[in-house]
Structure 1
C-alpha cells in the first residue's frame, strides 16, 4: 500500500522510512482507513493485542474494541472526521485475543489532503495496564486511609465535645462562687484582693467564651447542610440589630445593601455574618472609645455586595483599628490573634468559624486592612449551591 500524505506527493522512499519506523517502535502503531479498517499495524500493536499482523490488517477496529467502549470510539472517529476534534488522547479498552481487557492510552490524529479532506488515521497505543492497576491500588489505599482518618476525626471531635461539655460545669461554679464572694466579702477585701477576684472572673468568662466558640467551630464543620435561597441582606440587618442591643453604649450605623441573595444554609450563613460583623463592631468600638470628647463616636459598618459572573462578592467594611497586612496569613487560623485582650482581641476562633462556613459553601474569605483606617472582609459565595467542600478543604 502507498500512504497518501496530506501536504506532499507520496514517495516510495518516504513510505519505506515510515514502515521501518513503525516496525522499530515499541509503541503500538496503526494506519486506519476513514471507515475504520486496519491498513497497517506494527509488531508492537500485535504483541499488545495478541494477534498476528494478518489477523488484524483488513479488519475493522470494532472487532477488537471492548464492547463498552465501542460507542465512545465511534463518536471520537466521527468528531475527528468532521473536524470537531483535531486529535484524540484517551484511555480506552481493547480485547486481547485471550479475552482479557487491554487498557491503552490511545492517541489518534487524522491526516488530510491539501483540500482538507480526511484521508486516514494514525493511531498510537501505549499499554497502561500496570499503571491503571497501580492507580486503583493507590486509590483503594487512599480511600481506606480516608475512612480511617474520618473515623479518627469523628472520635477526636466527640472527645473535644465531651471535654467542652464537662468543663462548663466547673467554670459556672468558678463564676458563680467568685461573684458571691465579691458580693458578701466586698467590705473586707482590699484593692489587691478585689483585683484578684476580678481577674478570676474574667479568666473564667474568657474560658466559657472559648468553649462556646469551639462548640460553634465543631458545629459548622459537621452540621448537615440545609440548602435554600438565603436573603443575606435580611440576615445582616438582623445581626446588626443584635449587636446594637448587646452593646447599647455605642451608637451603631450599620448600612446594608438590599437584595443580596445566594443559595446556602441560612443558619450557617447567619453565623458567618455574626462572626464577621461582631469582629467589625468590636474593633470599631475599641477605636471609638479612644476618641476625644464626651459622646462615643458611632460604630460604622457597611455591608455591600457585587455579582461577578456566577458568584457574589460580599464585603463587610468597618472603620475601626485595622491591622498590619504583613500578618494577614494568621487571621483565619484557629487561636491566632493579631490583637491582645486589652486591644479587643478574643479567643481567635471567630474568623476561623467564618472561613469554614464560606468553604462549606464552596466560597472564599479574604481580608484587606490598614492600621488605623479599618478593615474589609470579603466573602465570595456562589449564587447557586452546587455541593459543599469536603471537610479537609
Structure 2
C-alpha cells in the first residue's frame, strides 16, 4: 500500500532548526531521500538525495505540497494515511509508494514515515525516509514473468504427459481385453486336454492380464484425483464409510464382515474424492484381514487341528474433533506391517507385501494420500506385524480450499 511524505506550512517550534549543523549534515550526507514534512503536507526540509530521486532542485520542493509530486492514483490512500498518523491510529508507515519524477516517469520508493509529537502528544511534523526500489521492482517483475512463463510451460507439459498417459492406458486396454477373453475361452474349451503345467501357464497369463487391467484402472484413478476439479460441500463421512462397507461385502460375500462406523463424522470437501479415499483405506483393511484369516485357516488345516470357520473381517471407522480438524481413523485386524518401512506406504508402486500376501499394485494408498493432500489434510499409519493397522486422516472440518492443485 503506497504512502506519502507530509509537513506543516511553517516549522514547529520543536522541529529541527535549519541551523542545527549535525542534523543538516546527516541529511546532506545520507544517500537515502530524507525530508521533514508538515502536518498539512508541506515539504519543510529535503536533502540532496531526495532531490536527485525526484529530479527537482531544493527550492522546487521546499514549501510545496507533497501531492504535487505524488502519483495521482495514490493520493486518496495518502490522505487516509496522513489522517491515521495524526490521530495515532498508526505510529509509523513503512510501505511502497509512487511519486512522479520531473520527467513524468514513475518513481517507486520504500517510504518510512514517523510522526513527531510534543510533550502533550500533539502531532508536530513528520520525518520521512525514501529509498529508490525501481531496480528491485523491475527485477521482481522479470522474475515473476519468468515464473509465469515457466508455470505455463509446466502446465503444457503436464497436459501433454496426461494425454500421453491416457492414450497409453486406452490403447493397452484393448489387447488386455483380448488376452483375458481368449484365455478364458481357452480355459473353458481346452482345460481338460491340458496337463497340469499348461493349466498353470494359462492361469498365470490370466492373472497377469487381470493385474495389468487393475494397474491401468488405478493409474487412471490416480490421474483423476490429481487433476479433477474439486466440488466443496458438506460431506457425511459416516454415510460414505457405510456405503463403502456394503460394497466390499457385496463384492466378497464369502467373507463375514463386522464393520463398525461411528455416526456423525462430517467435514467439508469433495464427496467423490473422499469416498474414493475411504474405499482405498477400507479395501486395504479388508484384503489384508482376509489374507490373515485365510493364512490362519490354512495353518490349522495343515496341523490337522479343527480349523473352524474363517474369522470375520473386522473394520472400525471412528473419529473425533480436534480444534478445527476431524481426526478420522480406519482400524483393522489384518496382517499389519513393520513400521520401519512406513515411509514407503504412500509412495506410488511401493508395496510392503507381495502378491501372495495380499499386496496389490501399490497405488491404493498413494491415491488416498493425494485425496487427503488436496483437502489440506494429513495422513499417517501405525501397525504391528500380525496385529492389524490403523490409518489416521486429519481433515479440516471447514474447507480452506485446495492446497496444491497442480502437484
TM-score, normalization by structure 2 = 0.86
Name the counterpart of 2:349: 335
Name the counterpart of 1:253: 258
Q: Distance in 1 between matches of 2:129 and 2:252?
A: 73
Q: Distance in 1 between matches of 2:406 and 2:178?
A: 37
Q: CA deviation at 1:11?
A: 9.8
Q: Distance in 1 between matches of 2:25 and 2:59?
A: 18
Q: CA deviation at 1:114?
A: 5.1
Matched, 1:172 2:186: no
Q: CA deviation at 1:335?
A: 1.4
Question: Please, which moves more after superposition, 219-228 or 43-52?
Answer: 219-228
Q: CA deviation at 1:346?
A: 1.2
Q: CA deviation at 1:390?
A: 4.0
Distance 1:17 1:250, change over 3 A: farther
Where 1:69 maps in the other structure, the secondary structure is helix
Q: CA deviation at 1:238?
A: 0.2
Where 1:321 maps in the other structure, the secondary structure is coil
List runs of 5+ in structure 1 lacking aligned partners: none
Matches within 5 A, 1:313-324: 313-324=327-338
Q: CA RMSD in A?
A: 2.6
Name the counterpart of 2:111: 106
Q: Is the 8 A contact 2:12 2:124 kept in 1?
A: no
Q: Distance in 2 between matches of 1:173 and 1:100?
A: 71
Question: Please, which moves more after superposition, 350-359 or 44-53?
Answer: 350-359
Where 2:111 maps in the other structure, the secondary structure is strand
Matched, 1:382 2:388: no
Name the counterpart of 2:7: none
Name the counterpart of 1:51: 56
Matches within 5 A, 1:185-334: 185-291=190-296, 293-334=307-348
Match of 1:356 among 354, 366, 370: 370
Q: CA deviation at 1:167?
A: 0.8
Q: CA deviation at 1:204?
A: 0.9
Q: CA deviation at 1:36?
A: 3.1
Name the counterpart of 1:22: 27
Match of 1:39 among 39, 44, 49: 44
Q: Distance in 2 between matches of 1:238 and 1:131?
A: 57
Q: Distance in 2 between matches of 1:113 and 1:371?
A: 75
Q: In the TM superposition, what whole-angstrom CA distance separates every residue of 1:236-271 from its partner, at most 9, and x where no partner exists?
A: 110011112222233222222222222322222211
Name the counterpart of 1:121: 126
Q: In the TM superposition, what whole-angstrom CA distance separates every residue of 1:167-217 from its partner, at most 9, and x where no partner exists?
A: 111111212222222233323333322222222111111100000011111
Q: In the TM superposition, what whole-angstrom CA distance separates every residue of 1:113-155 from its partner, at most 9, and x where no partner exists?
A: 5555544333222111122112212212221221222122112
